Amino acid sequence: MNTIQLSDSELVSLYIAGNENAFELLVKRHKNKVFTTILLIVKDTYTAEDLLQDTFIKAIHTMKSGRYNEEGKFSSWICRIAHNLAIDFFRKEKRNPTIEMEDGSNVFNTLAFAEESIESLQIKEDTHKRLRELIQQLPEAQKEVLIMRHYADMSFQEIAETTGVSINTALGRMRYALINLRKKMTNPSIDYDKNLYSQ
């Protein structure tokens, strides 16, 4: 059977039935999105690596014990576990960890970059770093919706329920998050309005 073409739902079923290769594929499919979700919240690579392990370990136990709910997408489910663990960690710490990004060596792990020059890799990494910094500058409510929707793959309805706001408010926050990011990217000199739709 060619597991590479199977859906997440089919892979979960295979894994529950004992197929470890199915789980490996699930991990490889979703690891970057889950890791980015965590990293944007905790802002520390080492902590994010630890929480990534905790996330998948929690998922393993849920699936293996037959408590996995088939409703909804696997990607939303795993990212929600990651998001909750990252938020819990952040609350426990009660501190703002310093942004500590690695030197870019990890980008060599991605096939897409394998044949690029060192210079273009550096430019790419600089751009990504700047984008991460701009995301961090968004008002908390906007940043939260952006991470939940774009990286954690939650629907706007799920975000509204999780954050206790109406779906229109969640949509509005997302819209302003994107507009503010775009403004910042095109006009770095513009003073950022921290009060803009932050409530």
Partner 1 sequence: MIKTSTHNDLIQYIYDELALGEKQLFEQTLAQNHELAEHCAELLILQEKLNTELKVPSEKTINSILTYSKNLSLQQ
Among 12, 39, 86, 138, binds partner 1 (CB under 8 A): 39
CB of 63 to partner 1, least distance (A): 9
| Residue 48 near partner 1 by CB under 8 A | yes
Pairwise CA distance, residues 111 & 116, whole Å? 10
Inter-CA distances, 125 with 5, 37, 102, 130, 190, Å: 31, 18, 10, 9, 23
Pairwise CA distance, residues 148 & 174, whole Å? 10
| Residue 58 near partner 1 by CB under 8 A | no
How far does CA 174 lie from the centroid of its chain? 15
| Residue 137 near partner 1 by CB under 8 A | no
Q: List the one residue out of 106, 131, 113, 130 whose CA is nearest residue 45.
A: 106
Instruction: For the segment 59-118, give every residue that binds partner 1 (CB under 8 A).
Output: 60-61, 64, 106-107, 109-110
Instruction: For the segment 173-192, give every residue that binds partner 1 (CB under 8 A).
Output: 174-175, 178, 181-182, 185
CB of 6 to partner 1, least distance (A): 18
| Residue 28 near partner 1 by CB under 8 A | yes
**85 Cβ neighbours under 8 A, 6+ residues apart:** 38, 51, 54, 55, 58
Site of tokens 């990494």: 125
Give long-range contacts, CB 8 A cutoff, 24+ apart: 14-23.
15/63, 16/63, 16/64, 16/66, 16/68, 23/60
Among 35, 74, 77, 89, binds partner 1 (CB under 8 A): 35
Pairwise CA distance, residues 56 & 84, whole Å? 13
CB of 57 to partner 1, least distance (A): 6
Among 27, 87, 121, 165, binds partner 1 (CB under 8 A): 27
Residues of this chain that bind partner 1 (CB under 8 A)? 18, 20, 23-24, 27-28, 31-33, 35-36, 39, 48-49, 52-53, 56-57, 60-61, 64, 106-107, 109-110, 128, 131-132, 149-151, 155-156, 168, 171-172, 174-175, 178, 181-182, 185
